[in-house]
């Protein structure tokens, strides 16, 4: 990120601490009476993303912009989140909890952390001049892995841009703030361009920016790999594929959640060692109907 006064940046973030459910801000017609701005404003009135100003998203006080919200305590909770070993576990499966809920998992508070996640992120942090593509079957825990990667990068002192679902989270390690933006391509590219030293973690089904040739982790299903082929080739990313869970990991996970081990075993025989289909009747029925989908 270009050098700037922390106080000015803090003023920018705090000036947009509004409800995430607030509508896009109205702009007086005289604020920027040129045809380009008028066209952008008219185009975005039909969306929830609001008008994106010509000023940078971060670093100067914006006269207008998309709805955003400072996520109170989210930076601190993610940075300070600690691994807890599951009592009586047969594997090294652990949990990590944040009270506000994980952005990657519909605000669920518990993240299950497999031993392999730590090895992946530590290898990535040791070689930040390369990008990483993490591939795994749907329901295997890729999004939890992405959330865990965010936590570990913050612990290592890096700022993080986290694109997940329909949101962009900016974790600023200097200000120790977490700011949430509604997703739009323009917002995304602007933030990435203005934070070149930040680590980007991309967990959504849109193409990541090919302009960022280092410090990026992309999380993907095998069936979505076509979305990332161009990015993968252009940025010379290396790939890591997540294996299905081991017998001991499934046992410990089911024990922690208090699931019926016999039912879990029956589901596993049908779907394999993929937690989503072992715990959710809805997901299991969906998988039976659409067996080939990621």
Same domain for 172 and 105 = yes
| Mean pLDDT computed over 175-184 | 91
Q: Is the pLDDT of residue 52 over 80?
A: no
End-to-end Cα spacing for the chain: 36
Is the residue at 228 inside a domain? yes
Q: Show the domain range for 42.
A: 1-66
Instruction: Provide the number of structural domains found in the chain.
Output: 3
Task: Give the whole-angstrom CA distance, residue 166 versus residue 172.
Answer: 20
Residue 134 banded pLDDT, cuts 50, 70, 90? very high
Mean pLDDT confidence for 112-125: 96
The verdict on 191 and 130 lying in the same domain is yes
Mean pLDDT across the stretch 111-130? 95
Return the minimum-mean-pLDDT range out of 25-39, 88-102, 157-171.
Answer: 25-39
Nearest one of 102, 101, 84 to 93, comparing CA atoms: 84
Q: Is residue 222 over pLDDT 50?
A: yes
**Top-confidence residue, 34 or 152:** 152
Same domain flag for 234 and 88:
yes
Residue found by looking up tokens 């499966």 in the block: 93
68-77 pLDDT, tens digit per residue, is 677 778 999 9
pLDDT at 42: 35
Question: Which ranges of 127-179 does DSSP label H, i.e. alpha helix?
Answer: 142-155
pLDDT given at position 103: 85
pTM of the model: 0.74
pLDDT by residue (tens digit) across 224-234? Answer: 667 777 787 88
In which band, very low, low, confident or very high, does the pLDDT at 165 lie, cut at 50, 70 and 90?
confident
**Is 294 part of a structural domain of the chain?**
no
Contact yes or no for 217/202 (Cβ under 8 A): yes
Q: Has residue 32 been placed in a domain?
A: yes
**8 A C-beta contact, residue 228 and residue 133:** yes
The reply to whether 165 falls in a domain is yes
Residue 70 exposure: Cα atoms within 13 Å on the Cβ side: 17
Phi, psi of 215 (to 5 degrees): 60, 35
**105 pLDDT higher than 60:** yes
d(Cα 151, Cα 153) in Å, to the nearest integer?
A: 6
With a pLDDT cut of 90, the percent of the chain lying above it is 47
Supply the mean pLDDT for the chain: 77
Could you tell me if residue 115 is inside a domain? Answer: yes
């Amino acid at each position: 990120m270009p050098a700037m006064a922390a106080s000015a940046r803090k003023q920018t973030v705090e000036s947009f601490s509004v409800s995430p459910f607030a509508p896009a801000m109205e702009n007086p017609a005289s604020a920027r009476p040129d045809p380009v701005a008028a066209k952008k404003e008219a185009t975005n009135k039909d969306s929830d993303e609001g008008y994106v100003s010509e000023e940078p998203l971060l670093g100067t006080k914006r006269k207008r912009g998309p709805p955003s919200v400072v996520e109170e305590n989210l930076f601190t909770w993610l940075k300070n989140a600690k691994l807890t070993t599951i009592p009586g576990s047969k594997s090294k499966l652990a949990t990590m909890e944040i009270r506000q809920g994980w952005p990657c998992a519909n605000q669920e508070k518990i993240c299950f952390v497999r031993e392999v996640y730590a090895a992946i992120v530590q290898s990535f942090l040791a070689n930040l001049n390369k990008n990483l593509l993490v591939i795994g079957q749907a329901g295997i825990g890729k999004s939890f892995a992405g959330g865990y990667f965010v936590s570990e990068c913050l612990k290592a002192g890096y700022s993080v841009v986290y694109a997940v679902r329909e949101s962009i989270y900016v974790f600023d390690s200097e200000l120790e703030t977490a700011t949430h933006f509604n997703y739009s391509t323009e917002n995304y590219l602007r933030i990435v361009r203005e934070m070149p030293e930040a680590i980007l973690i991309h967990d959504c089904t849109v193409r990541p920016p090919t302009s960022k040739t280092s410090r990026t982790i992309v999380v993907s299903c095998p069936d979505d790999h076509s979305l990332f082929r161009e990015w993968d080739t252009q940025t010379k990313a290396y790939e890591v594929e997540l294996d299905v869970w081991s017998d001991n990991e499934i046992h410990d996970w089911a024990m922690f959640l208090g699931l019926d081990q016999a039912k879990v075993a029956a589901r596993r025989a049908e779907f394999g060692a993929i937690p989503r289909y072992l715990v959710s009747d809805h997901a299991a029925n969906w998988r039976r109907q659409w067996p080939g989908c990621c």
